[in-house]
Amino acid sequence: MDSILVTGNGPLSGRIPIAGAKNACLTLMPATLLSEEPLTLTNAPRLSDIRTMTALLQSLGAEVTSLQGGQVLAMSSHDLNNHVADYDIVRKMRASNLVLGPMLARLGHAVVSLPGGCAIGARPMDLHIHGLEALGAEIELRDGYLHAKAPRGLKGAVVEFSFASVGATENVMMAATLAKGTTVLKNAAREPEIVDLATCLRKMGARIEGDGTSEITIEGIDRLHGATHPVVTDRIELGTYMLAPAIAGGEVECLGGRLDLVASFAEKLDQAGVTVTETETGLKVARTGGPIRAVDVTTEPFPGFPTDLQAQMMALLATAEGTSVLEERIFENRFMHAPELTRMGARIEVQGGTARVTGVEQLKGAPVMATDLRASVSLILAGLAAEGETVVSRVYHLDRGYEHVETKLQAVGAKIERIRG
Ligand code: UD1
């Protein structure tokens, strides 16, 4: 298995292009199942999670062709010949559950294995099931698979989520586009990926209003048509690379970055003493001197601080002056990076969903293990600021979510390389 060798090398300088969003692309791809006509996505990221979704859609009978080195995905679901999303594919990635709503809406039945993905908590599917049942689906769990059918078709309904789940909002929103009548999603998630999905579905003819707010209204129609859609910028990749100069020093411009995608995160960087400015081509991040100040962070649904940037932020705060309190409110088991950062000299005390991080003057390189996608990149960021060599092993998680991480960081002066193994 590959590992990544990082050697702390001082300030960074240059530009890093930010890719299309993994999480947006993973929900836009299943939208192809809603229509017989082609759906083409541009600005797609080149990641193993995208290849997993490609394999899943192909297993259902969809055609998915990767063009321009993977940046364009040409999809067609003219002939769907299978309605079973198999455990062997689904276990690799939780987002596989996003085929459930579209398949049910288009075919009237679907069998989807319960998902796997990063081991960051229980991550059940009760909210997805509740929403689809409200639209008239009958869903049973048998042998690790959800067996869903809508014998009389899906019907619009009012669905109130007890928690603003991203995946449940996406699944039910997609299903509702082909339901009879009007669906209202209350306490819907407001993430930019939801807005991107709604924008794409509207291009396919769907009638959706209110995306980006906590109440989304969808008026069902008989059929959706084809469309071409560019995937929104990846706000998590953006935030991750914004942290590179914050932790190592220097000035980096993240090309394609938008402040509205990372506002609450950028505010915390500002409080920590890092300067973020909008440019014509993206966001410029500078740390030109002075220590990082401790800040308290609580993860929340969008527009709050994203859970997917918590691990990376912890790496920065491990080098701050003073003690920061990080509260994880989205996932119950998302501090697996803390013991690894501790191996690099960080001072972190975890109690339940709270981590107290007391900054140290200097992190030290060490062999560490990547335990999930965002944890692995937090260890790379810590390595940029550490004295000596850090070897991050088990980086297959990293490849699920970051394209060309070594090349992007090398381009701004980091000493980082992949060791094939
Ligand atoms: C998506 C993102 C993930 C991000 C998360 C929160 C994708 C592919 N993944 O995941 O990177 O960390 O949003 O921003 O877009 N929950 C339930 N029941 C459900 C569904 C969720 O209890 O039916 C709980 C989960 O266990 C978790 C919380 O709700 O504690 C958030 O989950 P959710 O918003 O659904 O995240 P995902 O869509 O899985």
Tell me whether residue 254 is one of the annotated catalytic residues.
Answer: no
Question: What is the reported pLDDT for 288?
Answer: 82
* Arithmetic mean of pLDDT, 344-367: 97
Is the CB of residue 119 below 6 angstroms from any atom belonging to ligand 1? Answer: no
Question: What is the reported pLDDT for 116?
Answer: 58
Is the CB of residue 382 below 6 angstroms from any atom belonging to ligand 1? Answer: no
* Arithmetic mean of pLDDT, 386-400: 92
Instruction: Provide the whole-model pTM.
Output: 0.97
- Mutation test of ligand 1: which of 128, 330, 378 has the most ligand atoms closer than 8 Å to its C-beta? 330
Distance 122 CA to ligand 1 centre (A): 10
In degrees and rounded to multiples of 5, residue 271 shows phi and psi of -65, -30
Nearest alpha carbon, ligand 1 atom 36: 166
Average pLDDT, the chain: 95
DSSP H or E stretch at residue 236:
helix 235-248
Is the CB of residue 307 below 6 angstroms from any atom belonging to ligand 1? Answer: yes
Question: What is the reported pLDDT for 124?
Answer: 83
Question: What is the reported pLDDT for 57?
Answer: 98
Is the CB of residue 128 below 6 angstroms from any atom belonging to ligand 1? Answer: yes
Q: Does position 167 have pLDDT exceeding 50, yes or no? A: yes
Is the CB of residue 396 below 6 angstroms from any atom belonging to ligand 1? Answer: no
* Arithmetic mean of pLDDT, 399-409: 93
Is the CB of residue 94 below 6 angstroms from any atom belonging to ligand 1? Answer: yes
In degrees and rounded to multiples of 5, residue 155 shows phi and psi of -125, 140
174 is in an annotated binding site: no
- Which domains does the chain show, CATH number per domain? 3-18+233-419 (3.65.10.10), 22-230 (3.65.10.10)
Strand ranges for 245-360 from DSSP E: 250-255, 275-278, 282-287, 297-298, 323-327, 347-351, 354-358
155 is in an annotated binding site: no
* Arithmetic mean of pLDDT, 269-291: 95
Asked whether the CA dihedral 393, 397, 398, 400 is positive or negative, the reply is positive
* Closest atom of ligand 1 relative to the 373 alpha carbon: 11
Q: Does position 120 have pLDDT exceeding 50, yes or no? A: no
Nearest alpha carbon, ligand 1 atom 26: 123
192 is in an annotated binding site: no
Which residues, 6+ apart, have CB-to-CB distance to 335 below 8 Å?
Answer: 328, 350, 355
- How many angstroms separate the CA atoms of 31 and 171, rounded? 9
pLDDT tens sequence across 79-92: 999 999 999 999 88
Least confident range from 102-111, 123-132, 196-205: namely 123-132
